[in-house]
Structure 1
């Protein structure tokens, strides 16, 4: 569920009343069950896109591009580019 749900529409009355005794009128975040949680980037293509970007950075570096030029081209800090290059064997 990505949108807010009206508690009075999804919770039984006694449960709603019990919650109101503790957090009357406040916003309450209810986390997902552990078995329903997704890792970062699983719900979209973020992981895939970052892997592709990092592969392109490593390829360009291998072809002679400087760290500074790659950082400017990808709007990253040189330190981040160095981390991407160092992580080559971990991906």
Structure 2
């Protein structure tokens, strides 16, 4: 995250209005919802996890035990249960 000096990007009237609520502090202004991308979508990590979870579910359906899956994927049995029982 980068910091931008408010006086270089915001109109003076808006700065004065913001100063009624906060002065001299850092404030985070989020992107609008339409510009927001979910975690991992840009890096591909979300897809990798979705693929892993699908593989876990398929292996469980083929009879692989939760313990074996936990060991193979380096996850706890509780996490394996969550993956298997999530729709």
TM-score bracket relative to the smaller structure? 0.7 to 0.9
Write the distance in 2 (CA, Å) between the matches of 1:32 and 1:43. 16
The CA RMSD measured in Å over matched residues stands at 2.3
Q: Which has the higher helix share?
A: 1
- What SS does the corresponding residue of 2:28 show, helix, strand or coil? coil
Report the Cα offset of residue 64 of structure 1. Answer: 4.2
TM-score by length of 1: 0.70
Write the distance in 1 (CA, Å) between the matches of 2:73 and 2:84. 14
Write the distance in 2 (CA, Å) between the matches of 1:75 and 1:8. 50
- What SS does the corresponding residue of 1:38 show, helix, strand or coil? coil
Aligned pairs, how many? 87
Gaps of 5+ in 1: none
Gaps of 5+ in 2: none
